[in-house]
Structure 1
Amino acid sequence: MKIVATNIGERKEIDWKGKTVTTGIFKFPVETPIFLDVEKVKDDAICDRKYHGGIDQAVYAYSEKHYAYWKELYPNLDWELGMFGENLTVSDLEESQLHVGDTFKVGEVIIEVTKPRQPCMKLGVRFNDMKIVKQFWQQNLPGVYFKILQTGFVKAGDEFEQVKSCPQNPTIEEVYKSKREAKFKPKN
């Protein structure tokens, strides 16, 4: 795995169906290295601290190869890396191969796999279509959150070097499936 793009976004107010929505999901690639701090990416907007940022969700990564699937469903969008609100667009990121607790050195940082992303309505705002939220839940392509164990800079081209493997722990895909089953479990 390696970083294909580093993405940051600014705080943005969007008119969505008559309501003002404040979001930081509109992220775009930057040419300079980005600093991964303990609770967030420096200079990246986090507008809802209840669900974004924090120690266990300091940085969000999404697989570049997942874009092909979504581009087929949404061919009329102006596609750019960072579309899913990820800070890191990564080549060959496989949720089925990443275990909670796996640790990597990338650039100057050491990061630990914590959990999958759970989509919220802001993804629908980004795509201008709320169907994406349910479609995202239906696929096993959630991307992954990382905890920052050692802060520092990362940039496009930096490779992931695994420093700790936790095969006894569930994979990100397994955790995501479990969360999906719990969320969509029929109510009695």
Structure 2
Amino acid sequence: MSEPASAMRVSIDAVLTGVVRPFGPKGVPSGIAKTATRARIRVSATGLEGDGQGDPRHHGGPEKALHHYAFDHYPAWRLALAEQGAAGDGVLDTPGAFGENLSTTGLTEADVCIGDRFRLGTALVEVSQARQPCWKLNHRFGYAGMSRAVQQSLRTGWYYRVLETGEVAAGDVLELVARPCPGWPLHRLLQVLYVNRLDYAALEQMAALAPLAESWRKLARQRLERREVEAMERRLSGE
């Protein structure tokens, strides 16, 4: 994680937006189904113009303005779904399977740190948190264990907050311009959250990590105070 900021530049392969539609067996409102566009899109403090979220309590907002998922992970997911006998109805054929707004190749959770600032087209964005997968992925992929598999794989994707508004289009460059927390790659953050869940020393550092979204810092504080891990089943299964 020591490379200079100028060394981390990737092309934005796809910019994706979606409107809110009924989703899943209960028809809950969701904007998870997104499609790529070649148009230049306005990046505001709450995300891409024309992009919708059906559940504003858990999705969207300033701390989850943009969702980025690495297309690098798609081959592994195709294999994993095939092993489970779940075809996914071709959802992994193109970017957007995970409801992401940005798709790239060459940048994963091992490369990106909390607080990283990127020039995104003409906007400036900052990595605010990783994703906590929810039950909607189970219906999206036709596999009841998908949200749990994403969590266990640590291939979750991540979110940005928008520091400077601007515009972005596919083909633009995503370039790292600042790295204030080189010791906190997303892979490490996810290890603390989902693997070494009661690593108290790491949780103390996580709770004090200024660029990390407050909801994640609060989660770390709660684990430290209660000496236990919060329930996750409802988020993962929807039950």
TM > 0.5: yes
Structure number with higher strand proportion: 1
Worse overlay, 113-122 or 172-181: 172-181
Q: Please show how residues 58-97 of structure 1 align to structure 2 within 5 Å.
A: 58-75=65-82, 76=87, 77-78=89-90, 79-97=93-111
Q: Per-residue CA shift, 1:48-97, capped at 9, x if unaligned?
A: 11111111110000111111111112353312211100000012112112
1:46 and 1:40 map into 2 onto residues whose CA distance is 10
Q: Secondary structure at the match of 1:178?
A: helix
Matched, 1:176 2:190: yes
Shift of 1:185: 5.0
2:230 and 2:115 map into 1 onto residues whose CA distance is 31
Q: Secondary structure at the match of 1:82?
A: coil
Count of aligned positions? 185
Aligned to 1:8: 17
Structure number with higher helix proportion: 2
1:133 and 1:8 map into 2 onto residues whose CA distance is 21
1:95 and 1:122 map into 2 onto residues whose CA distance is 21
Aligned to 1:140: 154
Worse overlay, 146-155 or 160-169: 160-169
Tell me if the contact between 2:72 and 2:108 (Cα under 8 Å) persists in the aligned partners: no
Q: Per-residue CA shift, 1:132-158, capped at 9, x if unaligned?
A: 111101112111101111111111111
| Identical positions, percent | 29
The alignment's C-alpha RMSD in Å is 2.0
1:33 and 1:53 map into 2 onto residues whose CA distance is 20
Q: TM-score with structure 1 length normalisation?
A: 0.90
Q: Secondary structure at the match of 1:110?
A: strand
Matched, 1:127 2:141: yes
Tell me if the contact between 1:28 and 1:83 (Cα under 8 Å) persists in the aligned partners: no
Which is greater in Rg?
2
Q: Per-residue CA shift, 1:2-29, capped at 9, x if unaligned?
A: 211011111111351xx22221101111
Aligned to 2:63: 56
1:99 and 1:33 map into 2 onto residues whose CA distance is 27
1:24 and 1:49 map into 2 onto residues whose CA distance is 10
Structure 2: state its 5+ residue gaps: 1-9, 198-218, 220-227, 232-239
1:14 and 1:110 map into 2 onto residues whose CA distance is 32
1:165 and 1:14 map into 2 onto residues whose CA distance is 38
Worse overlay, 26-35 or 105-114: 26-35
Shift of 1:169: 4.5
Structure 1: state its 5+ residue gaps: none
Aligned to 1:37: 44
Tell me if the contact between 1:101 and 1:169 (Cα under 8 Å) persists in the aligned partners: no
Q: TM-score with structure 2 length normalisation?
A: 0.72
Worse overlay, 161-170 or 143-152: 161-170
Shift of 1:40: 2.1
Shift of 1:168: 4.1
2:11 and 2:55 map into 1 onto residues whose CA distance is 28
AA aligned opposite 2:133: P
Tell me if the contact between 1:28 and 1:80 (Cα under 8 Å) persists in the aligned partners: no
